[in-house]
A and B are shown apart, each in its own frame.
Chain A
Protein backbone atom coordinates (compact mmCIF):
# COMPACT_ATOMS: atom_id res chain seq x y z
CA UNK A 1 0.00 0.00 0.00
CA UNK A 2 1.30 3.42 -0.89
CA UNK A 3 1.26 5.88 2.00
CA UNK A 4 -0.21 9.32 1.39
CA UNK A 5 2.10 12.25 1.90
CA UNK A 6 0.14 13.50 4.85
CA UNK A 7 0.16 10.08 6.54
CA UNK A 8 3.89 9.70 6.06
CA UNK A 9 4.52 13.17 7.49
CA UNK A 10 2.45 12.35 10.56
CA UNK A 11 4.34 9.10 11.20
CA UNK A 12 7.71 10.85 10.89
CA UNK A 13 6.62 13.59 13.28
CA UNK A 14 5.27 11.18 15.91
CA UNK A 15 8.48 9.14 15.69
CA UNK A 16 10.45 12.34 16.31
CA UNK A 17 8.43 13.17 19.44
CA UNK A 18 8.83 9.63 20.79
CA UNK A 19 12.61 9.65 20.38
CA UNK A 20 12.87 13.08 22.01
CA UNK A 21 10.72 12.01 24.96
CA UNK A 22 12.75 8.81 25.43
CA UNK A 23 16.01 10.79 25.58
CA UNK A 24 14.57 13.14 28.20
CA UNK A 25 13.18 10.28 30.30
CA UNK A 26 16.49 8.41 30.11
CA UNK A 27 18.46 11.49 31.20
CA UNK A 28 16.05 12.29 34.03
CA UNK A 29 15.94 8.75 35.39
CA UNK A 30 19.68 8.20 35.08
CA UNK A 31 20.57 11.43 36.92
CA UNK A 32 21.25 11.29 40.65
CA UNK A 33 18.61 13.76 41.79
CA UNK A 34 19.53 13.57 45.43
CA UNK A 35 23.09 14.75 44.86
CA UNK A 36 22.01 17.24 42.23
CA UNK A 37 19.55 19.04 44.49
CA UNK A 38 22.06 18.85 47.36
CA UNK A 39 24.53 20.73 45.15
CA UNK A 40 22.41 23.21 43.23
CA UNK A 41 19.10 23.63 45.00
CA UNK A 42 19.88 24.14 48.70
CA UNK A 43 17.14 26.45 49.92
CA UNK A 44 19.04 27.50 53.06
CA UNK A 45 22.02 28.60 50.96
CA UNK A 46 19.77 30.40 48.50
CA UNK A 47 17.89 32.09 51.34
CA UNK A 48 21.07 33.40 52.92
CA UNK A 49 21.86 35.38 49.76
CA UNK A 50 18.84 37.62 50.14
CA UNK A 51 18.15 40.49 50.28
CA UNK A 52 21.67 41.55 49.17
CA UNK A 53 21.32 39.52 45.95
CA UNK A 54 18.63 41.97 44.86
CA UNK A 55 19.34 45.19 46.75
CA UNK A 56 23.05 45.22 45.86
CA UNK A 57 24.03 42.66 43.21
CA UNK A 58 21.01 42.83 40.88
CA UNK A 59 20.82 46.58 41.32
CA UNK A 60 24.48 47.02 40.33
CA UNK A 61 24.16 44.66 37.36
CA UNK A 62 21.29 46.78 36.06
CA UNK A 63 23.16 50.02 36.79
CA UNK A 64 26.32 48.84 34.97
CA UNK A 65 24.23 47.70 32.02
CA UNK A 66 22.35 50.99 31.68
CA UNK A 67 25.44 53.16 32.12
CA UNK A 68 27.42 51.21 29.52
CA UNK A 69 24.43 51.22 27.19
CA UNK A 70 23.94 54.99 27.32
CA UNK A 71 27.67 55.58 26.81
CA UNK A 72 27.81 53.02 23.99
CA UNK A 73 24.72 54.45 22.31
CA UNK A 74 26.14 57.99 22.34
CA UNK A 75 29.55 56.99 21.03
CA UNK A 76 27.92 54.53 18.62
CA UNK A 77 25.73 57.25 17.12
CA UNK A 78 28.74 59.50 16.56
CA UNK A 79 30.65 56.60 14.97
CA UNK A 80 27.69 55.72 12.73
CA UNK A 81 27.47 59.31 11.49
CA UNK A 82 31.23 59.37 10.91
CA UNK A 83 30.98 56.09 8.96
CA UNK A 84 28.41 57.71 6.67
CA UNK A 85 30.22 61.04 6.42
CA UNK A 86 31.42 62.35 3.09
CA UNK A 87 34.73 63.22 4.74
CA UNK A 88 37.20 60.38 4.17
CA UNK A 89 39.27 60.67 7.40
CA UNK A 90 36.06 60.42 9.48
CA UNK A 91 35.00 57.30 7.64
CA UNK A 92 38.46 55.82 7.99
CA UNK A 93 38.65 56.59 11.71
CA UNK A 94 35.22 55.16 12.46
CA UNK A 95 35.93 51.99 10.48
CA UNK A 96 39.23 51.49 12.30
CA UNK A 97 37.55 51.95 15.68
CA UNK A 98 34.72 49.55 14.86
CA UNK A 99 37.02 46.85 13.51
CA UNK A 100 39.36 47.18 16.51
CA UNK A 101 36.77 47.06 19.28
CA UNK A 102 34.66 44.37 17.65
CA UNK A 103 37.76 42.24 17.38
CA UNK A 104 38.94 42.57 20.99
CA UNK A 105 37.40 40.56 23.86
CA UNK A 106 35.31 42.82 26.12
CA UNK A 107 37.27 41.50 29.10
CA UNK A 108 40.50 42.84 27.63
CA UNK A 109 39.06 46.30 26.93
CA UNK A 110 37.60 46.48 30.43
CA UNK A 111 40.97 45.53 31.88
CA UNK A 112 42.82 48.11 29.77
CA UNK A 113 40.44 50.87 30.86
CA UNK A 114 40.55 49.81 34.51
CA UNK A 115 44.31 49.55 34.78
CA UNK A 116 45.74 51.28 31.71
CA UNK A 117 44.04 54.66 32.17
CA UNK A 118 45.26 55.12 35.79
CA UNK A 119 48.79 54.27 34.63
CA UNK A 120 48.65 56.69 31.70
CA UNK A 121 47.14 59.54 33.73
CA UNK A 122 48.38 59.08 37.31
CA UNK A 123 46.99 62.41 38.54
CA UNK A 124 43.50 61.84 37.23
CA UNK A 125 40.93 59.15 37.41
CA UNK A 126 37.76 58.27 35.55
CA UNK A 127 34.97 59.98 37.53
CA UNK A 128 32.54 57.69 39.28
CA UNK A 129 35.06 55.08 40.44
CA UNK A 130 34.19 51.56 39.36
CA UNK A 131 30.93 52.81 37.86
CA UNK A 132 32.85 55.19 35.61
CA UNK A 133 35.40 52.56 34.60
CA UNK A 134 32.65 50.05 33.75
CA UNK A 135 30.70 52.67 31.79
CA UNK A 136 33.73 53.36 29.61
CA UNK A 137 35.21 49.85 29.65
CA UNK A 138 32.06 48.05 28.50
CA UNK A 139 30.68 51.05 26.62
CA UNK A 140 33.64 51.26 24.25
CA UNK A 141 33.01 47.73 23.00
CA UNK A 142 29.24 48.16 22.91
CA UNK A 143 29.69 51.36 20.88
CA UNK A 144 31.39 49.44 18.08
CA UNK A 145 28.47 47.03 17.74
CA UNK A 146 25.82 49.71 18.10
CA UNK A 147 27.55 51.93 15.51
CA UNK A 148 27.04 49.22 12.89
CA UNK A 149 23.42 48.71 13.96
CA UNK A 150 22.65 52.43 13.83
CA UNK A 151 24.42 52.82 10.48
CA UNK A 152 22.24 50.07 9.03
CA UNK A 153 19.19 51.83 10.48
CA UNK A 154 20.11 55.15 8.90
CA UNK A 155 20.73 53.49 5.56
CA UNK A 156 17.35 51.75 5.79
CA UNK A 157 15.60 55.15 5.74
CA UNK A 158 14.80 55.83 2.06
CA UNK A 159 17.06 58.42 0.42
CA UNK A 160 13.97 60.39 -0.64
CA UNK A 161 13.34 61.34 3.00
CA UNK A 162 16.60 63.28 3.20
CA UNK A 163 16.02 64.77 -0.27
CA UNK A 164 12.54 65.94 0.64
CA UNK A 165 13.85 67.53 3.84
CA UNK A 166 16.72 69.26 2.01
CA UNK A 167 14.29 70.45 -0.65
CA UNK A 168 12.27 72.19 2.07
CA UNK A 169 15.37 74.20 2.95
CA UNK A 170 16.60 72.17 5.92
CA UNK A 171 20.35 71.91 6.43
CA UNK A 172 21.90 68.45 6.37
CA UNK A 173 22.21 68.45 10.16
CA UNK A 174 18.64 69.63 10.68
CA UNK A 175 17.32 67.01 8.24
CA UNK A 176 19.23 64.26 10.05
CA UNK A 177 17.92 65.34 13.46
CA UNK A 178 14.30 65.99 12.51
CA UNK A 179 13.67 63.49 9.74
CA UNK A 180 16.23 60.69 9.28
CA UNK A 181 17.36 59.76 12.82
CA UNK A 182 13.85 59.48 14.34
CA UNK A 183 12.94 56.99 11.62
CA UNK A 184 16.30 55.19 11.86
CA UNK A 185 15.92 54.69 15.62
CA UNK A 186 12.48 53.25 15.16
CA UNK A 187 14.05 50.66 12.88
CA UNK A 188 16.92 49.79 15.21
CA UNK A 189 15.05 49.58 18.53
CA UNK A 190 14.73 45.75 18.35
CA UNK A 191 18.43 45.12 17.57
CA UNK A 192 19.47 47.71 20.17
CA UNK A 193 17.39 45.91 22.79
CA UNK A 194 19.31 42.75 21.91
CA UNK A 195 22.43 44.79 22.54
CA UNK A 196 21.20 45.52 26.10
CA UNK A 197 20.72 41.80 26.69
CA UNK A 198 24.30 41.09 25.60
CA UNK A 199 25.56 43.95 27.76
CA UNK A 200 23.69 42.61 30.78
CA UNK A 201 25.67 39.40 30.55
CA UNK A 202 28.93 41.23 29.86
CA UNK A 203 28.62 42.99 33.24
CA UNK A 204 29.74 39.64 34.71
CA UNK A 205 33.25 40.67 33.62
CA UNK A 206 33.31 43.63 36.00
CA UNK A 207 35.02 41.51 38.70
CA UNK A 208 38.40 42.07 36.97
CA UNK A 209 38.30 45.67 38.21
CA UNK A 210 38.12 44.51 41.82
CA UNK A 211 34.71 45.28 43.28
CA UNK A 212 33.77 45.98 46.90
CA UNK A 213 30.70 44.88 48.83
CA UNK A 214 28.82 47.94 47.56
CA UNK A 215 29.83 47.76 43.89
CA UNK A 216 29.53 43.98 43.54
CA UNK A 217 27.38 42.56 40.72
CA UNK A 218 25.55 39.25 40.32
CA UNK A 219 28.27 36.91 39.06
CA UNK A 220 30.93 38.01 41.55
CA UNK A 221 28.33 38.00 44.31
CA UNK A 222 27.39 34.42 43.48
CA UNK A 223 31.04 33.42 43.21
CA UNK A 224 31.77 34.79 46.69
CA UNK A 225 28.75 33.00 48.15
CA UNK A 226 29.91 29.81 46.45
CA UNK A 227 33.26 30.08 48.19
CA UNK A 228 31.91 30.82 51.66
CA UNK A 229 29.15 28.18 51.60
CA UNK A 230 31.15 25.62 49.60
CA UNK A 231 28.02 24.96 47.56
CA UNK A 232 27.14 26.01 43.98
CA UNK A 233 23.48 26.88 44.68
CA UNK A 234 24.31 30.65 44.44
CA UNK A 235 25.14 30.18 40.75
CA UNK A 236 21.59 28.98 40.11
CA UNK A 237 20.20 31.96 42.02
CA UNK A 238 22.37 34.36 39.99
CA UNK A 239 21.27 32.67 36.75
CA UNK A 240 17.62 33.11 37.66
CA UNK A 241 18.19 36.78 38.51
CA UNK A 242 19.86 37.34 35.10
CA UNK A 243 16.76 35.84 33.50
CA UNK A 244 14.64 38.30 35.49
CA UNK A 245 16.35 41.05 33.46
CA UNK A 246 16.80 39.38 30.09
CA UNK A 247 13.51 37.50 29.61
CA UNK A 248 11.30 40.62 29.74
CA UNK A 249 13.71 42.32 27.33
CA UNK A 250 13.49 39.43 24.85
CA UNK A 251 9.74 39.59 25.18
CA UNK A 252 9.91 43.32 24.46
CA UNK A 253 12.02 42.74 21.34
CA UNK A 254 9.54 40.19 20.05
CA UNK A 255 6.66 42.58 20.66
CA UNK A 256 8.44 45.45 18.91
CA UNK A 257 9.32 43.29 15.92
CA UNK A 258 5.72 42.13 15.64
CA UNK A 259 4.54 45.74 15.71
CA UNK A 260 7.12 46.76 13.10
CA UNK A 261 5.92 43.96 10.79
CA UNK A 262 2.33 45.09 11.15
CA UNK A 263 3.22 48.66 10.25
CA UNK A 264 4.89 47.65 6.99
Chain B
Protein backbone atom coordinates (compact mmCIF):
# COMPACT_ATOMS: atom_id res chain seq x y z
CA UNK B 1 0.00 0.00 0.00
CA UNK B 2 1.31 3.43 -0.97
CA UNK B 3 1.57 5.54 2.14
CA UNK B 4 2.96 8.68 0.49
CA UNK B 5 0.28 11.36 0.17
CA UNK B 6 -0.45 12.33 -3.44
CA UNK B 7 -0.49 16.01 -2.51
CA UNK B 8 1.12 17.44 0.59
CA UNK B 9 0.93 21.21 1.03
CA UNK B 10 2.56 22.91 4.02
CA UNK B 11 2.55 26.60 4.95
CA UNK B 12 1.62 27.76 1.45
CA UNK B 13 1.52 31.51 0.89
CA UNK B 14 0.91 33.29 -2.40
CA UNK B 15 0.85 37.02 -3.07
CA UNK B 16 0.15 38.95 -6.24
CA UNK B 17 2.03 42.15 -5.57
CA UNK B 18 0.59 43.49 -2.33
CA UNK B 19 -2.49 41.28 -2.48
CA UNK B 20 -2.09 38.19 -0.32
CA UNK B 21 -4.30 35.53 -1.89
CA UNK B 22 -3.18 32.48 0.11
CA UNK B 23 -2.27 33.01 3.74
CA UNK B 24 -0.90 29.76 5.07
CA UNK B 25 -2.50 26.64 3.61
CA UNK B 26 -1.86 23.12 4.94
CA UNK B 27 -3.58 20.37 3.02
CA UNK B 28 -2.92 16.80 2.05
CA UNK B 29 -4.73 14.54 -0.37
CA UNK B 30 -4.34 10.76 -0.14
CA UNK B 31 -4.12 8.40 -3.11
CA UNK B 32 -7.59 7.68 -4.47
CA UNK B 33 -9.18 10.45 -2.45
CA UNK B 34 -11.61 12.97 -3.96
CA UNK B 35 -11.36 16.38 -2.28
CA UNK B 36 -13.68 19.23 -3.22
CA UNK B 37 -12.69 22.81 -2.44
CA UNK B 38 -15.59 25.22 -2.01
CA UNK B 39 -15.78 28.85 -1.01
CA UNK B 40 -16.70 32.33 -2.24
CA UNK B 41 -15.13 33.97 -5.29
CA UNK B 42 -11.74 35.44 -4.50
CA UNK B 43 -11.16 33.10 -1.57
CA UNK B 44 -8.03 31.67 -3.26
CA UNK B 45 -9.43 28.27 -4.32
CA UNK B 46 -8.23 28.45 -7.90
CA UNK B 47 -4.88 29.90 -6.90
CA UNK B 48 -4.38 26.99 -4.50
CA UNK B 49 -5.10 24.53 -7.31
CA UNK B 50 -2.79 26.36 -9.72
CA UNK B 51 0.03 26.28 -7.18
CA UNK B 52 -0.08 22.47 -7.09
CA UNK B 53 1.29 22.20 -10.64
CA UNK B 54 3.15 25.49 -10.40
CA UNK B 55 1.05 27.46 -12.88
CA UNK B 56 1.43 29.97 -10.07
CA UNK B 57 4.74 30.26 -8.26
CA UNK B 58 4.15 30.03 -4.49
CA UNK B 59 5.56 32.92 -2.43
CA UNK B 60 6.36 30.62 0.49
CA UNK B 61 5.76 27.07 1.69
CA UNK B 62 6.32 23.63 0.25
CA UNK B 63 4.24 21.44 -2.03
CA UNK B 64 4.95 17.77 -2.62
CA UNK B 65 3.26 15.75 -5.32
CA UNK B 66 3.72 12.00 -4.92
CA UNK B 67 6.74 12.68 -2.75
CA UNK B 68 8.45 15.06 -5.18
CA UNK B 69 8.89 18.58 -3.89
CA UNK B 70 7.67 20.73 -6.78
CA UNK B 71 8.63 23.94 -4.98
CA UNK B 72 12.29 22.87 -5.11
CA UNK B 73 13.98 25.16 -7.69
CA UNK B 74 15.83 22.15 -9.11
CA UNK B 75 12.63 20.15 -9.61
CA UNK B 76 11.94 19.10 -13.23
CA UNK B 77 8.48 20.64 -13.31
CA UNK B 78 7.71 19.43 -16.84
CA UNK B 79 8.19 15.84 -15.64
CA UNK B 80 5.97 16.38 -12.59
CA UNK B 81 3.24 18.02 -14.67
CA UNK B 82 3.07 14.93 -16.90
CA UNK B 83 1.64 13.07 -13.90
CA UNK B 84 -0.90 15.78 -13.05
CA UNK B 85 -3.93 16.20 -15.29
CA UNK B 86 -5.63 19.56 -15.20
CA UNK B 87 -9.06 20.63 -16.41
CA UNK B 88 -9.77 24.34 -16.79
CA UNK B 89 -12.92 26.40 -16.44
CA UNK B 90 -12.52 27.65 -20.04
CA UNK B 91 -11.65 24.15 -21.43
CA UNK B 92 -8.54 25.51 -23.25
CA UNK B 93 -8.74 23.01 -26.07
CA UNK B 94 -6.24 23.72 -28.83
CA UNK B 95 -8.38 25.47 -31.43
CA UNK B 96 -6.19 24.70 -34.44
CA UNK B 97 -6.23 20.94 -33.81
CA UNK B 98 -8.95 18.33 -34.19
CA UNK B 99 -10.31 16.52 -31.14
CA UNK B 100 -8.07 13.53 -31.87
CA UNK B 101 -5.00 15.75 -32.30
CA UNK B 102 -5.83 17.54 -29.06
CA UNK B 103 -5.68 14.22 -27.27
CA UNK B 104 -2.61 12.87 -29.08
CA UNK B 105 -0.27 15.87 -29.37
CA UNK B 106 1.17 15.74 -25.85
CA UNK B 107 1.36 11.92 -25.94
CA UNK B 108 3.43 12.20 -29.11
CA UNK B 109 5.59 15.22 -28.26
CA UNK B 110 6.03 14.67 -24.52
CA UNK B 111 5.69 10.94 -23.91
CA UNK B 112 7.12 10.12 -27.40
CA UNK B 113 4.45 7.55 -28.09
CA UNK B 114 4.11 6.35 -31.66
CA UNK B 115 1.29 7.71 -33.80
CA UNK B 116 -0.55 4.40 -33.66
CA UNK B 117 -0.14 4.02 -29.90
CA UNK B 118 -1.22 7.61 -29.21
CA UNK B 119 -4.20 7.20 -31.53
CA UNK B 120 -5.27 4.02 -29.78
CA UNK B 121 -5.07 5.63 -26.33
CA UNK B 122 -6.93 8.68 -27.66
CA UNK B 123 -9.76 6.47 -28.89
CA UNK B 124 -9.98 4.67 -25.55
CA UNK B 125 -10.20 7.94 -23.62
CA UNK B 126 -12.59 9.65 -26.04
CA UNK B 127 -14.77 6.57 -25.80
CA UNK B 128 -14.63 6.85 -22.03
CA UNK B 129 -16.08 10.38 -22.16
CA UNK B 130 -18.57 9.34 -24.85
CA UNK B 131 -17.06 11.35 -27.73
CA UNK B 132 -15.28 8.77 -29.91
CA UNK B 133 -17.48 9.84 -32.84
CA UNK B 134 -16.26 13.45 -32.60
CA UNK B 135 -12.57 12.62 -33.11
CA UNK B 136 -12.32 14.50 -36.40
CA UNK B 137 -14.27 17.58 -35.30
CA UNK B 138 -12.65 20.87 -34.32
CA UNK B 139 -13.30 22.26 -30.82
CA UNK B 140 -15.32 25.19 -32.20
CA UNK B 141 -17.83 22.68 -33.61
CA UNK B 142 -18.55 21.18 -30.17
CA UNK B 143 -20.80 22.33 -27.34
CA UNK B 144 -19.21 23.52 -24.12
CA UNK B 145 -20.00 20.24 -22.36
CA UNK B 146 -18.44 18.24 -25.19
CA UNK B 147 -15.36 20.46 -25.18
CA UNK B 148 -14.90 19.96 -21.46
CA UNK B 149 -15.22 16.18 -21.85
CA UNK B 150 -12.54 16.27 -24.57
CA UNK B 151 -10.37 18.28 -22.18
CA UNK B 152 -10.79 15.54 -19.59
CA UNK B 153 -9.91 12.86 -22.17
CA UNK B 154 -6.84 14.89 -23.16
CA UNK B 155 -5.64 14.95 -19.56
CA UNK B 156 -6.42 11.25 -18.98
CA UNK B 157 -4.45 10.21 -22.08
CA UNK B 158 -1.27 11.18 -20.22
CA UNK B 159 -1.99 8.53 -17.55
CA UNK B 160 -2.01 11.03 -14.66
CA UNK B 161 -1.85 9.88 -11.06
CA UNK B 162 -3.78 12.98 -10.01
CA UNK B 163 -6.43 15.17 -11.63
CA UNK B 164 -6.99 18.85 -10.84
CA UNK B 165 -10.34 20.40 -11.78
CA UNK B 166 -10.62 24.19 -11.75
CA UNK B 167 -14.35 25.01 -11.72
CA UNK B 168 -14.92 22.62 -14.64
CA UNK B 169 -18.63 23.37 -15.00
CA UNK B 170 -18.74 27.10 -14.25
CA UNK B 171 -18.55 28.19 -17.91
CA UNK B 172 -21.22 25.73 -19.05
CA UNK B 173 -24.87 26.28 -19.90
CA UNK B 174 -26.92 24.71 -17.07
CA UNK B 175 -28.21 21.82 -19.21
CA UNK B 176 -24.62 20.78 -20.07
CA UNK B 177 -23.32 20.57 -16.49
CA UNK B 178 -24.65 17.06 -15.91
CA UNK B 179 -22.67 15.34 -18.69
CA UNK B 180 -19.37 16.69 -17.33
CA UNK B 181 -20.21 15.79 -13.74
CA UNK B 182 -21.15 12.28 -14.89
CA UNK B 183 -17.69 11.77 -16.38
CA UNK B 184 -16.09 13.09 -13.19
CA UNK B 185 -18.23 10.84 -11.03
CA UNK B 186 -17.11 7.88 -13.14
CA UNK B 187 -13.48 8.84 -12.67
CA UNK B 188 -13.91 9.09 -8.91
CA UNK B 189 -15.52 5.66 -8.85
CA UNK B 190 -12.51 4.23 -10.69
CA UNK B 191 -10.28 5.44 -7.87
CA UNK B 192 -8.69 8.53 -9.48
CA UNK B 193 -7.17 10.99 -7.02
CA UNK B 194 -8.99 14.26 -7.58
CA UNK B 195 -8.74 17.81 -6.26
CA UNK B 196 -11.81 19.69 -7.44
CA UNK B 197 -12.59 23.40 -7.09
CA UNK B 198 -16.31 23.64 -7.65
CA UNK B 199 -19.55 25.51 -7.09
CA UNK B 200 -21.55 22.31 -7.60
CA UNK B 201 -22.53 21.59 -3.99
CA UNK B 202 -24.60 18.55 -4.93
CA UNK B 203 -21.56 17.00 -6.63
CA UNK B 204 -19.33 17.75 -3.64
CA UNK B 205 -21.85 16.27 -1.26
CA UNK B 206 -22.27 13.11 -3.28
CA UNK B 207 -18.79 12.37 -4.63
CA UNK B 208 -16.24 13.99 -2.33
CA UNK B 209 -14.58 12.06 0.47
CA UNK B 210 -13.71 15.38 2.03
CA UNK B 211 -14.90 18.94 1.56
CA UNK B 212 -12.60 21.90 2.19
CA UNK B 213 -14.16 25.32 2.79
CA UNK B 214 -11.87 28.25 2.00
CA UNK B 215 -12.42 31.93 2.66
CA UNK B 216 -10.07 34.88 2.47
CA UNK B 217 -6.95 32.82 1.71
CA UNK B 218 -7.26 30.27 4.53
CA UNK B 219 -8.94 26.92 5.06
CA UNK B 220 -11.80 27.70 7.42
CA UNK B 221 -12.90 24.13 7.96
CA UNK B 222 -12.78 20.72 6.34
CA UNK B 223 -14.29 17.32 6.84
CA UNK B 224 -16.63 14.70 5.36
CA UNK B 225 -19.39 16.30 3.26
CA UNK B 226 -22.05 15.15 5.69
CA UNK B 227 -20.39 17.13 8.47
CA UNK B 228 -19.46 20.26 6.53
CA UNK B 229 -22.85 20.52 4.82
CA UNK B 230 -24.93 19.02 7.65
CA UNK B 231 -23.47 20.69 10.74
CA UNK B 232 -20.82 23.26 9.85
CA UNK B 233 -18.81 24.46 12.87
CA UNK B 234 -17.82 27.89 11.61
CA UNK B 235 -20.14 30.87 11.13
CA UNK B 236 -18.51 31.78 7.82
CA UNK B 237 -19.19 28.29 6.48
CA UNK B 238 -22.82 28.45 7.58
CA UNK B 239 -23.33 31.83 5.95
CA UNK B 240 -21.72 30.72 2.67
CA UNK B 241 -23.76 27.52 2.51
CA UNK B 242 -26.94 29.42 3.33
CA UNK B 243 -26.32 31.84 0.47
CA UNK B 244 -25.36 29.14 -2.02
CA UNK B 245 -27.88 26.45 -1.13
CA UNK B 246 -30.85 28.71 -0.40
CA UNK B 247 -30.34 31.77 -2.63
CA UNK B 248 -34.02 32.65 -2.63
CA UNK B 249 -34.08 32.80 1.17
CA UNK B 250 -31.34 35.39 1.56
CA UNK B 251 -33.13 38.25 3.33
CA UNK B 252 -32.74 41.94 2.60
CA UNK B 253 -31.44 42.67 6.08
CA UNK B 254 -28.61 40.16 5.57
CA UNK B 255 -27.23 42.11 2.63
CA UNK B 256 -27.96 45.52 4.16
CA UNK B 257 -30.62 46.47 1.61
CA UNK B 258 -33.55 48.71 2.51
CA UNK B 259 -35.93 48.10 -0.34
CA UNK B 260 -39.05 48.21 1.82
CA UNK B 261 -39.70 50.98 4.32
A-side residues, CB < 8 A to B, are 158, 160-161, 163-171, 174, 178-179, 182-183, 186, 263
Closest beta carbon of chain B to A189's beta carbon, Å: 13
Residue B43 is within 8 A (CB to CB) of chain A in the complex: no
B-side contacts of A167, CB under 8 Å: 53, 55, 81, 84-86, 155
List, in ascending order, chain B residues with CB within 8 A of A170's CB: 78, 106, 109-110
Q: Quick check: B154 and A168 within 8 Å, CB to CB? A: yes
Contact B55 A178 (CB under 8 A): no
Contacts A163-B55, A263-B140; A169 near B110 (Cβ below 8 A)? yes
The answer to whether B78 touches A164 (Cβ under 8 A) is: no
The stretch that binds A, out of B1-9, B92-100, B190-198, is B92-100
> Which of the residues B55, B96, B158 comes within 8 Å of A169, measured between beta carbons?
B158
Most chain A CB within 10 A, of B81, B111, B140, is at B81
Q: Which 7 residue pairs are nearest across A and B when measured between Cβ atoms?
A: A169-B82, A168-B106, A164-B92, A160-B92, A167-B86, A169-B110, A169-B81
Contact B53 A161, beta carbon cutoff 8 Å: no
Q: Is the CB of A160 within 8 A of B88?
A: yes
Q: Contacts of A166 on B, CB cut-off 8 Å?
A: 55, 78, 81
Does B62 count as interface, using CB distance less than 8 angstroms?
no
B202 to chain A, nearest CB (A): 27
A164's nearest neighbour on chain B, judged by CB, is B92
What is the CA–CA distance of A166 and B154 in the complex, to the nearest angstrom?
13
Of chain B, the residue at the smallest CB distance from A157 is: B95
Contact B109 A174 (CB under 8 A): yes
A171 pairs with B78, CB closer than 8 A: yes
Contact residues, B99-151 vs A (CB, 8 A):
105-106, 109-111, 140, 151
> What are 30 inter-chain pairs, A to B, with CB distance below 8 A?
A158-B92, A160-B88, A160-B90, A160-B92, A161-B94, A163-B88, A164-B88, A164-B92, A164-B94, A165-B106, A166-B55, A167-B55, A167-B84, A167-B85, A167-B86, A167-B155, A168-B81, A168-B82, A168-B106, A168-B110, A168-B154, A168-B158, A169-B81, A169-B106, A170-B106, A170-B109, A178-B109, A182-B96, A183-B96, A263-B140
- A186 to B97 Cα, complex, angstroms: 12
Task: Report the bound CA distance from A167 to B55 in whole Å.
Answer: 8
Question: Is B255 part of the binding interface, using a Cβ–Cβ cutoff of 8 Å?
Answer: no
B79 close to A (CB within 8 Å): yes
CB neighbours of A174 from chain B (8 A): 109-110
Question: How would residues 17 to 55 of chain B score, 1 for a CB under 8 Å from any chain A CB and 0 otherwise?
Answer: 000000000000000000000000000000000000101
Question: For A179, what are the chain B residues with a Cβ–Cβ distance below 8 Å?
Answer: 94, 105
Q: In the assembly, what is the distance between CA of A31 and CA of B88, in Å?
A: 69
- The residue on B at minimum CB distance from A184 is B96
Q: How many A-B residue pairs have CB under 8 A?
A: 62
Q: Determine the distance from Cα of A161 to Cα of B154 in the docked complex, in whole angstroms.
A: 13
Smallest beta-carbon distance B37→chain A, Å: 18
Given contacts A167-B85, A169-B106, A169-B110, 13 further A-B contacts (CB under 8 A): A161-B92, A164-B151, A166-B81, A167-B81, A167-B86, A167-B155, A168-B81, A168-B82, A168-B105, A169-B111, A171-B78, A178-B105, A178-B109
Chain A hits for B79, CB < 8 A: 169
Contact B95 A183 (CB under 8 A): yes
Q: For B158, list chain A residues within 8 Å (CB).
A: 168-169
- In the assembled complex, the Cα of A239 lies from the Cα of B48 at a distance in Å of 63
Q: When the two chains form their complex, are residues A163 and B95 in contact, meaning their CB atoms are under 8 A apart?
A: no
Q: Which residue of A lies closest to B54 (CB)?
A: A166
Contact (A169, B105) CB under 8 Å given A160-B90, A163-B88, A183-B96: no
Chain A residue contacts of B86, Cβ below 8 A: 164, 167
A244 to B95, CA, bound (A): 35
In this complex, the member of A161, A169, A174 whose beta carbon has the largest number of chain B beta carbons within 10 angstroms is A169
Q: How far is the CA of A2 from the CA of B155 in the complex (A)?
A: 69
CB neighbours of B94 from chain A (8 A): 161, 164-165, 179, 183
Closest to A264 in B: B140
In the complex, what residues of A have CB within 8 A of residue B96's CB? 182-183, 186
Minimum C-beta distance from A259 to chain B (A): 13
Task: Give Cα A108–Cα B55 distance, bound, in whole angstroms.
Answer: 46
For B110, give the chain A residue with the smallest CB separation: A169
User: How distant is the Cα of A168 from the Cα of B79 in the complex, in angstroms?
Assistant: 9
Name the CB-closest residue of A to B83: A169
B167 smallest CB distance to A (angstroms): 13
How distant is the Cα of A64 from the Cα of B111 in the complex, in angstroms?
Answer: 43
